[in-house]
Amino acid sequence: MDVRQQQERVAERYRRTAAEREEIRRRQEAAGTPVVVDDEDQLRARASRLLANGEVGASALSHALSDGHALRPTVLFERILGAASELQSVNFLARGERAARAVGRISILESGRLAGFGTGFLVGERLLLTNNHVLPDPDTATSSFVEFDLELDVDGVTKRADRYDLDPATLFVTHVDLDFSLVAVAQGDGGRRPGSVHGWHRLIANQGKIVIGEPVNVVGHPNGRAKEVAVRDNALLNQLPDYLHYRTDTEPGNSGSPVFNDQWEVVALHHAGVPGPDGQSWIANEGVRVSVLLTHLADTELPPAQRGVLTELGPQAVPSGAVPGEVDLAPAAVPSQRPRARRPVGSTPPTERRTPGLIGRPRGRRAVVFLHGRGQEGQDPVRLRATWAGGLARGLAAGGLAPLDAADVWFPFYGDALISALDVPERAGAPTAAETFAPTESSTRVVYAELIDQAAARAGMPLEERRTAQEGGLLGGLVEALQGPLSWLADRSGLDDLVIAAVLRDVAAYLDRDSVRTAVLDAVRACLPDDGELVLVSHSLGSVVAIDLLTQLPDRLDVPVLVTAGSPLGLDAVQKRLLAGGPVRPARVGSWLNAWAAADAVAIGCPLGDDWDQVRDVRTGNPKDRAHDIAEYLADPVVAGEIGRSVR
């Protein structure tokens, strides 16, 4: 089916739904808001997605709920959508620029001659999505090619395009009625896959990406020109079962463009416009819904090798209720038909997708990794990552730097693995904090006692008082004697004795018990890129895990920047039990910044420069009641700047 036939079908669907659009317009005018939703579940899904991704700030949300009255769920969800759409963060433009990098111009050749242009965009490391009327069959794809970076830079100078041939022999899936083609892209110069250079978009099967009345943005190559973006006076007009109708400026050549929401998530594949009465202008546009495309792919029977390639779409592309064994987008142990290639941010091998950690979106070869501390069991990694990113955004803003999108960050999650490996319930009703969190294993108790004693010494507890406590331990029990040093620490820090005891208990267990260390390191390794560069940001126990991890990473992973915050790495009891056997600076680390706060008892051994080589210690001004809070550490402009400048 050619583009003219597609336009005729689009125009007919648009005429057929005129009454629906008129009813939508009437409801918009009556409600005084562009957002119109018939289904509360859809509204709930949209609001929940905005909140979970950190798209609605705390201040904006507080303002939306400031009348102090209890709200019906529908009203609450509508206010959340309103708070998300009133003003855009300045990073809207930076995120749009990043999203546009994965969009390319397709040159269609027939008999060696240029026959036309289309647009396509990467949805996997080597998967390109476009229209069926752009690439209708494998033969057309074989003779065509795609170019990325075909655009003007900030000075209006044309960039050098990055060209790739298409590889339909590896994968080619198409559908005439839904007007899409998914094709593999061949490797470029030096064996590079296009996604490792330009990133890709993760197609999302779940609801919650957009509702009627919200803005849309389209990036493409109209009439084959340099890349352009349509962001003005654009909105979703109507939702059909398989298609979206929206208002935006497009031209021929934009066929195959991604249609984005304001969070730069793909909501549709643009495929045709609705011509106006004069036959010259366009009054609306139509795109195929992403969820419909993914459902079709899940129902498509493919050879095992092609099914393996399709897993690059990622687990978020699996429709709920999909039948395993047809096209399994997330699991599958299909042997690679080619040499094993790098897994950049956003792509994970099937065996690793069972990790509860979060995979960051593509950023090229350099990935940002947040490595959390103890006490996170049962928490939602999405919300934890958003908290870290929120603190970092404050610090970056204070330093005049653009924020880092939380979705770009890798977030290995070992909280549940740690607590499961510990298998030691706290002693409810124990008379002291030291006893509440005391380990049961005798060897771990010794480490626990060393940590508390050394921390108290670093906090200035007089030697005589510490000796008295030690003698009391010999006479009346080791753990009971630890409460004195523990109380000393609590009195001179911003943490209470229960928090300090809990942290040091988990540090002791990690250092002393191989089963605990292995469980934690396995969970972390399961959620890391295969190669490239890591900007590794770690907190509390996570900093100890990070130093051990750096002794085990493959040679193809480098760490140009290491940040530790609230770290116990200054204590001798920690250093001598590391896998390296002492304060040995990891050779693969470039710059190392260590952040510590005077009121943070966990970081009492800081500054680290006294024991570790080439560490830049930064003392932060964390409030006493949030002395160990990672968001406060990351909100420091110096700490944030070290991270922000490393990923620009």
Residue 41: predicted pLDDT = 66
- Tell me what pLDDT residue 287 has: 92
Decide the pairing of beta strands 557-565 and 589-597: parallel
Chain position carrying tokens 């929401």? 261
Residue 595 C-alpha from the chain's centroid: 24
CB contact at 8 A, 119 and 220: yes
Are the C-beta atoms of 452 and 516 separated by less than 8 Å? no
Per-residue confidence (pLDDT) for residue 119, from 0 to 100: 96
Please tell me whether residues 571 and 533 are part of one structural domain. yes
Domain boundary among 512, 538, 564: 512
**pLDDT at residue number 249:** 65
- Pick the last residue of a domain from 512, 543, 565: 512
- What lies within 8 Å, CB to CB, of 137 at 6+ separation is 172, 174
The backbone torsions φ and ψ at residue 539, rounded to the nearest 5 degrees and listed phi first, read: -135, 135
DSSP track, 512-530: H-HHHHHHHHHHHHTTS-S
Position 501 scores a pLDDT of 85
Same structural domain, 412 and 523: yes
Which CA distances in Å does 631 have to 51, 496, 567? 18, 19, 14
Is the domain of 463 the same as that of 387? no
Q: Which residues are catalytic?
A: 133, 179, 255
CA-based nearest residue to 345, from 200, 166, 228:
200
Q: What is the CA radius of gyration of the chain?
A: 28
| Together in a domain, 396 and 524 | yes
489 found inside a domain: yes
CATH number for position 610:
3.40.50.1820
Q: Are 546 and 375 in contact (CB under 8 A)?
A: no
Residues 480 and 577 in one domain: no
Do 497 and 586 belong together in one domain?
A: no
Report the pLDDT value the prediction gives residue 613, as an integer from 0 to 100.
95
Residues 585 and 607 in one domain: yes
Do 540 and 609 fall into the same domain? Answer: yes
CA-nearest of 95, 324, 331, 51 to 201 is 95
pLDDT for the residue 308: 84
User: Which pLDDT belongs to residue 515?
Assistant: 94
Residue 330, pLDDT score: 39
Residue finishing a domain among 493, 512, 531: 512
pLDDT at 440: 81
Angle at 106 between CA 242 and CA 218, to 5 degrees: 50
- 411 with 553, same domain: the answer is yes
Residue 294 resides in a domain: no
- Domain assignment of residue 558, yes or no: yes
Structural domain count, the chain: 2
- pLDDT of res. 82: 55
Instruction: Evaluate whether residue 179 is within a structural domain.
Output: no
The CA distance from 308 to 114, in Å, is 33
Rounded Cα distance between 97 and 82, Å, is 24
Per-residue model confidence (pLDDT) at position 454: 85
In a domain, 448, yes or no: yes
Asked whether residue 446 is domain-assigned, the answer is yes
Supply 585's token pair.
């600076």
| Domain span at 494 | 426-512
**Cα→Cα distances 185→266, 299, 310, 340, 504, Å:** 20, 23, 12, 16, 51
* Residue 146 maps to a domain: no
112: left (phi over 0), alpha (psi -120 to 50) or beta: left
472 and 598 housed in the same domain? no
Tell whether omega for the bond before 637 is within 30 degrees of 0, i.e. cis: no
Per the structure block, which two tokens stand in for 391?
Answer: 């603190």
pLDDT value of position 53? 59
Cα(47)–Cα(52) distance, integer angstroms: 9
The answer to whether position 634 is within a domain reads yes
- For the chain, which residues score pLDDT lower than 50? 58-74, 76-77, 321-354, 471-477
Please count the CA atoms within 13 angstroms of the CA of 21 that sit on its side-chain side. 16
Q: Which pLDDT belongs to residue 221?
A: 92
pLDDT value of position 72: 47
Residues 467 and 585 in one domain: no
Same domain (yes/no): 526, 378: yes
